[in-house]
Structure 1
Amino acid sequence: MVKNLKTQYHHYIPQFILKTFDDNFSLNVSDYFATIPDLFVVTPIPDGSVQADSGRKRKRTTRRRREDEAKDPKEQAKMEEPKKRTKVKEPKVKEPKEQAKMKEPKEQAKMEEPKKKSKVKEPKKKELKEQAKMEEPKKAKMREAIEQDEGGGANEQGEDGRANEQGEGGGANEQSQVADIEGESQSGGVKKENNSIRTTEDTKKPDYQIKVYHAASRTVSLNSVRRSYGVQDLYRDVSEENWMKFEILLSKMECTSSRFIREIWAGQEDLSLTRSQLTEMKKFLVIMTYRSNNRRDQYKNDRFSASTRQSILMHMRHKNIKRIQDVWFDNLKWIIETPADDIMEEYRKAIVYRAKMMMTFSMDEYQGPIHIAELVEFGNMCTNLMCIWQAEEGSEFILSEGCFGAWEGDGREPFHTFYIVSPRYAIILVNRLQPWNWATHLPFKSWFEGDIHANPETVYTKGPPPSNFTSDHFSPTDEFKYKRIVVPKEDVYFVNSIFLDARRESLTYKSNLSMYRSVQYYDMMKRWRPDLFKNGHDYSLLKRKLVADMGMS
């Protein structure tokens, strides 16, 4: 059981996805998957600070930790007993007393020689210290020269040096952060290994670190994955006390979905899902969209149109809910607990109710399990097509608070909904009518058209379907075979521009060059299409830092 349930850090982007943005994460390491024992979306707040693992290579700490936990003190004592017995039973060769006496003076002389040598070495240590003091002025001049060469980026580095993660204990200046990012930290002319992967003393688990751009301070720092892209006490305003059971159910769905996502990472050609697995995959993605700090704050601050608020108030009367913020959690827990087939059945009922209300102008209240607007949105998302996008070589996707569920559309209906699963890959839910150019008659067309949509190959359990088949021909074991669709750089930068414009507090990137090009593309698009990119954020300081980190003039 998790202690102190009301002091949790809840991630709205899964941790195993955040880890792919660590510079030390390698998609080619076959045993990496053994180091992800906790795919839970709930992370207990650590009691101790995070300390760097100085200069040691990554090891399979999770497996060793499990082995140590499995061993009781009694078992460890049993394991040590044979070792003690073997030492006692070792045969000893007895030498004649005369030979032993003859060897004693020689052995004593040999033992005394190292002591004499060590006494001679002692003054050399003092000389080395004095020599180091003499070289300090030279090193200071070298540092000043380096700072002068960096030019315009000096002020920004000073700001970044003060931007450390809260609650992590201990600080690191900007030079050490940049060195960790580029792997070029040196001491005394000796190159050190990149030690951005850390371990916590309380859990002994690898602590991955990612680059985070903070919009408020306009600085970049290395942040722990455990304390990034989440919110403390997500359910602090919820009346429900036993919310942890819903998080456990969600974590099980996350584990199921993560298997397919890891297959995408590994580059496997066979990317197959059964119909039931695909339904659970879509359900998890949509839940993570709804289970976000943005959506919770919308209910907390009552940010709704007049018609939507009236619908919510009717639902509150029907469900006897007193506070509007409790509607958010009431919807969330029903979606998590209810099987996907039952949700879709209720979704069809809601669609029929809406059509009847529009045709007959009926004022009857919808008395469903959750608010009708959320139910219809959930059902529409689950009926969308799923694609797997692979960024073209030389480009990467970035992260923001809304990257796990951000969408592109005309303001009423989303055409594409994005779920970034690594710097290289993204899962896209495409409007089911988009491949047939449903939106061509509207003033706003989707930016993403052409060959970046592909329906999966379907293998029906009951055989090839007839021309006039119905849903009766479907089976939970029907198989959908997906292919990775290589997306041009321009489309990748456009997706990143959506995140750059919609970000609230943070951004994360892995490649400095790809991030620089994404910001350049965003600057161009916000001038060309201000109707699409209305916020028009300024990233000039971030661009200067990226140039400095890449060593460009």
Structure 2
Amino acid sequence: MVRNFMQERNLQKPKEVWLQNIHEILDTSHEEVGNNEKIFSIDREDYKHRMIDCFLLIWQAGENDEFIITSNGFGIFEGVTGNMFGAFPFQYAFHSFYVISPKLVLVLCPSSFRKEIGTDHLYKFFGGKRSIFENVPHPAAIPKYVGTVNASRSKSNNEHNHSKFDPTDIFSLHARAFEKTLKSMGIEKQWNDTFTFPFVKLDSATVHLVNFILLNEVKPDLILTFLSRPYLYKTIVKYHKKVGVQQDFSNLKKNLFIELNRTHKDNLHLRKNIPTGQKYSWNVRETNSES
């Protein structure tokens, strides 16, 4: 499929497919990405899946925890991988992670994880395979629709969107069904609708689980971004105790231990050089910022 696409678009390397996809996605309106044939078909379908069937969560690390940022971790997922019908490889993400800071991670997951829908049918489809994050709260964004149904506007929108609707496309059917549901409630989507996203504060065990997934997928040219050496050291120690470990961070762990031990010795040295019983008198003067 990729080779045929490269020939059709006069592309020389697979990397150029990736670059063209990015260019076209950025240069195409959100609604039209799924119909842009300059984007590789699998990536178009993936975009439509995320657009129609997924919702966004914001997970927050606690005061004493942090998410480790890895050079290849943006978009790492937890889910199911295998071969369909014994021949075709597939991946299905239960949770895709996008760490945007040491304290926040955006999480994209299928609508089955919404409380009102439930994951029973999803787990059954994948033979009982369950998400390791199923017990974490999954509150959906709270929408506020500003527009009520306007007959003339609806007619115009229907005429505009008629050519886009594909009754053979499952995502088009989902989108049409959602619009009909809104209209039955007297609501119509508008550009200035608002969505309020609640933050979910995770416990330490769950933060370490997210970090485990990120660390498990690193490449040899690993680059880590972190706030605290002690916390990174603790994270590495916990990582090596997990089942399913695929990486060896022994050297990193050793270097962190040496650095932390050196810092500890420096602190002890500073403390020993503070004279006992020493008292200081501080002169405090108020200043007028306007003068």
Alignment of 1:248-327 (within 5 A): 311-327=1-17
CA contact 1:400–1:506 (8 Å) conserved in 2: yes
- Identical aligned residues as a percent: 21
TM-score relative to the length of structure 2: 0.66
Q: CA 1:469 to 1:490, structure 2 compared with 1: closer, same or farther past 3 Å?
A: same
CA contact 1:501–1:536 (8 Å) conserved in 2: no
The match for 1:420 is 99
User: For 1:121-146, what per-residue CA distance to the aligned partner results, in whole angstroms no more than 9, with x for missing partners?
Assistant: xxxxxxxxxxxxxxxxxxxxxxxxxx
What RMSD over aligned residues (CA atoms) do the two structures have, in Å?
2.9
SS of residue matched to 1:392: coil
The match for 1:301 is none
Report whether the alignment pairs 1:501 with 2:216: yes
Q: 1:341, 1:424 → 2: CA distance?
A: 32
Q: 1:545, 1:417 → 2: CA distance?
A: 35
User: For 1:356-375, what per-residue CA distance to the aligned partner results, in whole angstroms no more than 9, with x for missing partners?
Assistant: xxxxxxxxxxxx22211121
Equivalent AA in structure 2 for residue 498 of structure 1: I
The match for 2:142 is 457
Equivalent AA in structure 2 for residue 338 of structure 1: T
The CA deviation at 1:467 is: 9.1
| Worse overlay, 462-471 or 390-399 | 462-471
The CA deviation at 1:546 is: 5.8
Larger radius of gyration: 1
1:400 pairs with 60, 65, 70, which one? 70
CA contact 1:452–1:486 (8 Å) conserved in 2: no
The match for 2:258 is 545
Q: CA 1:511 to 1:463, structure 2 compared with 1: closer, same or farther past 3 Å?
A: farther
The CA deviation at 1:343 is: 1.0
The match for 1:440 is 123
User: For 1:232-273, what per-residue CA distance to the aligned partner results, in whole angstroms no more than 9, with x for missing partners?
Assistant: xxxxxxxxxxxxxxxxxxxxxxxxxxxxxxxxxxxxxxxxxx
Q: 1:415, 1:392 → 2: CA distance?
A: 23
The CA deviation at 1:513 is: 2.8
SS of residue matched to 1:551: helix
Report whether the alignment pairs 1:390 with 2:60: yes
User: For 1:389-440, what per-residue CA distance to the aligned partner results, in whole angstroms no more than 9, with x for missing partners?
Assistant: 1112211111111222221111211111112122111111122223321542
Q: 2:232, 2:109 → 1: CA distance?
A: 25
SS of residue matched to 1:535: coil
Q: CA 1:466 to 1:386, structure 2 compared with 1: closer, same or farther past 3 Å?
A: closer
Structure 2: unaligned runs, 5 residues or longer: 82-90, 150-177, 269-291
Aligned positions, number: 217
The match for 2:25 is 335
The match for 1:212 is none
Structure 1: unaligned runs, 5 residues or longer: 1-310, 348-367
Q: 1:447, 1:373 → 2: CA distance?
A: 27
The match for 1:479 is 194
The match for 2:277 is none
Q: CA 1:519 to 1:463, structure 2 compared with 1: closer, same or farther past 3 Å?
A: farther
Equivalent AA in structure 2 for residue 460 of structure 1: Y
The CA deviation at 1:466 is: 10
SS of residue matched to 1:420: strand
Q: 2:231, 2:264 → 1: CA distance?
A: 15
Q: 1:549, 1:508 → 2: CA distance?
A: 21
CA contact 2:80–2:92 (8 Å) conserved in 1: yes
CA contact 2:73–2:217 (8 Å) conserved in 1: no
Q: CA 1:420 to 1:337, structure 2 compared with 1: closer, same or farther past 3 Å?
A: same
Q: CA 1:420 to 1:546, structure 2 compared with 1: closer, same or farther past 3 Å?
A: farther
Q: CA 1:322 to 1:390, structure 2 compared with 1: closer, same or farther past 3 Å?
A: closer
2:239 pairs with 522, 528, 535, which one? 522
Equivalent AA in structure 2 for residue 388 of structure 1: I
